[in-house]
């Protein structure tokens, strides 16, 4: 007589990068059935990533150095990255036909430079095409599953985690532009300055650009208003230029470092003085710029800081409150800087959630 064992039923809520990567790592498990619930379109959120090119990962020497790029989640991610590191991600993508390359700035992209192509290849590798177009609003809807993976990102799944008794760290925007206090000095809109930390762009009522994204991430948990100070011109380099060119117009020298339209606003009537007449106080104003920030510019938000409290999640991304539940991706209180770090969190945590479920199944079989 042969016994046919009932398949293990897994529900994945959310067909974003984390949910689909988790499904791809679970699908070859023996005797498993997977249902993916998606309220919108699968992998739709992958399309705008990296400006349509999908910056899918970032080079790092080891899990610890990679984890340093996450203002929230650093410690939690050590063991997650130790299980599934950047090279594992790249190898996996290669195995499903997505070749990648590293840019000079150490960010990885698919060779196709196309998030759309990446989406198609990921969905093509998915054996079970049965993605159920449904919004899950009550976790009890999934009572008949053996395991539930919550991969709902930052827009739509917090209440499910709360229903299970999990704590949600209040979501706040990160990697976004910043709005300045009314009455801040008016700098020319559209002007860009280059700092050693990255570009800054002046907008109508605030600041944006890679360096501002980084500041918004570091300060994501601070209360508004707060002050930020950004480096402008190296005092030493400016003084050397002044020494070599005492008869030149000071504004022209300053404009070798920053855009002319900006130096005109900052220097005002000091623009046209000779270098030999420049005062120390004028040099002081050129070293840094300080701004009062009143709010994030929500339009530019790339990720959300906050989410499911990490103390309540084990290092296989399983819920410590309910052994049936797993989390992966942005739903957790994890967010990184720009550069492929946020997708790497999705890939590595999704792998760990899949592995956690497989471990359960192996333990059951051995009983």
Ligand X SMILES: Cc1cc2nc3c(=O)[nH]c(=O)nc-3n(C[C@H](O)[C@H](O)[C@H](O)COP(=O)(O)OP(=O)(O)OC[C@H]3O[C@@H](n4cnc5c(N)ncnc54)[C@H](O)[C@@H]3O)c2cc1C
Q: Please say which residue, 66 or 275, places its beta carbon nearer to ligand X.
A: 66
CA distances from 300 to 56, 99, 199, 293 (A): 19, 29, 15, 15
H or E element in which residue 163 lies: helix 158-163
* Tokens encoding 64: 């610890």
40 in contact with ligand X (CB under 6 A)? yes
Q: Give the range of 150-158, 180-188, 220-228, 285-293 binding ligand X by CB under 6 A.
A: 150-158
- Judged by CB under 6 A, the residue of 55, 305, 319, 355 near ligand X is 55
Q: Please say which residue, 118 or 278, places its beta carbon nearer to ligand X.
A: 118
Q: Give the range of 44-52, 162-170, 210-218, 262-270 binding ligand X by CB under 6 A.
A: 44-52
What's the min distance (Å) between Cβ of 286 and ligand X? 34
Other CB atoms within 10 Å distance of the CB of residue 9: 15
135 in contact with ligand X (CB under 6 A)? yes
- Judged by CB under 6 A, the residue of 8, 11, 12, 17 near ligand X is 17
174 in contact with ligand X (CB under 6 A)? no
151 in contact with ligand X (CB under 6 A)? yes
* Tokens encoding 15: 């067909």
Q: Give the range of 123-131, 154-162, 192-200, 260-268 binding ligand X by CB under 6 A.
A: 154-162
Q: Please say which residue, 44 or 94, places its beta carbon nearer to ligand X.
A: 44
Site for ligand X in 242-271 (CB under 6 A): none
Q: What's the CA gap between 24 and 184, in Å, rounded?
A: 50
48 in contact with ligand X (CB under 6 A)? yes
* Tokens encoding 183: 């009455």
> What is the 3-state composition of the chain as percent helix, strand, coil, each rounded to the nearest 5?
40, 25, 35
- Judged by CB under 6 A, the residue of 35, 297, 312, 330 near ligand X is 330
15 in contact with ligand X (CB under 6 A)? yes
Q: Which of 325, 327, 335, 321 is nearest to 352 (CA)?
A: 327
Report how many residues bind ligand X under the rule CB under 6 A.
35
- Using an 8 Å Cβ cutoff, are 220 and 174 in contact? yes
- Judged by CB under 6 A, the residue of 90, 232, 303, 334 near ligand X is 303
Q: What's the CA gap between 176 and 214, in Å, rounded?
A: 8
Query: How much is the CA Rg of the chain, to the nearest whole Å?
Result: 25
Q: Which of 291, 315, 344, 304 is nearest to 156 (CA)?
A: 304
Q: How many CA atoms lie within 13 A of 271 on its CB side?
A: 15
Other CB atoms within 10 Å distance of the CB of residue 106: 12
Q: Give the range of 62-70, 151-159, 189-197, 268-276 binding ligand X by CB under 6 A.
A: 151-159
342 in contact with ligand X (CB under 6 A)? yes
Binding site for ligand X (CB under 6 A): 13-19, 37-40, 44-45, 48-50, 54-55, 135-136, 151-153, 155-157, 302-303, 329-330, 340-343, 346
């Amino acid at each position: 007589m042969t016994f046919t064992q009932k398949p293990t039923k897994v529900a994945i809520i959310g067909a974003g990068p984390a949910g689909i990567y988790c499904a791809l790592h679970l699908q070859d498990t023996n005797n498993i059935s997977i249902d993916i619930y998606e309220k919108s379109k699968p992998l739709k959120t992958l399309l705008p990533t990296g400006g349509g090119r999908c910056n899918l990962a970032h080079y790092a020497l080891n899990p610890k150095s990679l984890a340093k790029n996450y203002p929230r989640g650093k410690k939690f991610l050590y063991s997650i990255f130790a299980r599934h590191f950047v090279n594992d991600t790249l190898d996996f993508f290669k195995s499903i036909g997505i070749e990648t390359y590293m840019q000079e700035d150490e960010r990885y992209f698919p060779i196709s430079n196309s998030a759309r192509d990446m989406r198609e290849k990921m969905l093509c590798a998915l054996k079970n095409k049965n993605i159920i177009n449904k919004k899950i609003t009550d976790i009890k809807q999934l009572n008949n599953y053996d395991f539930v993976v919550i991969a709902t990102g930052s827009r739509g799944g917090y209440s499910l985690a709360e229903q299970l008794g999990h704590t949600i760290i209040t979501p706040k925007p990160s990697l976004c532009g910043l709005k300045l206090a009314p009455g801040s000095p008016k700098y020319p809109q559209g002007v860009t300055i280059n700092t050693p930390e990255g570009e800054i762009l002046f907008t109508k009522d605030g600041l944006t650009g890679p360096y501002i994204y980084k500041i918004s991430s570091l300060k994501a948990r601070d209360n508004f208003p707060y002050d930020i100070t950004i480096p402008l011109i190296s005092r030493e380099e400016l003084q050397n230029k002044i020494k070599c060119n005492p008869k030149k117009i000071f504004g022209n020298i300053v404009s070798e470092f920053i855009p002319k339209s900006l130096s005109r606003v900052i220097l005002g009537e000091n623009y046209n003085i000779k270098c030999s007449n420049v005062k120390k106080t004028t040099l002081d104003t050129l070293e840094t710029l300080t701004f009062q920030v009143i709010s994030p510019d929500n339009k530019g938000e790339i990720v959300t800081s906050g989410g499911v409290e990490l103390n309540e999640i084990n290092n296989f991304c399983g819920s410590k409150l309910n052994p049936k539940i797993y989390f992966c991706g942005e739903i957790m209180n994890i967010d990184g800087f720009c550069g492929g770090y946020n997708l790497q969190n999705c890939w590595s945590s999704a792998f760990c959630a899949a592995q956690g479920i497989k471990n359960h199944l192996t333990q059951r079989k051995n009983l």
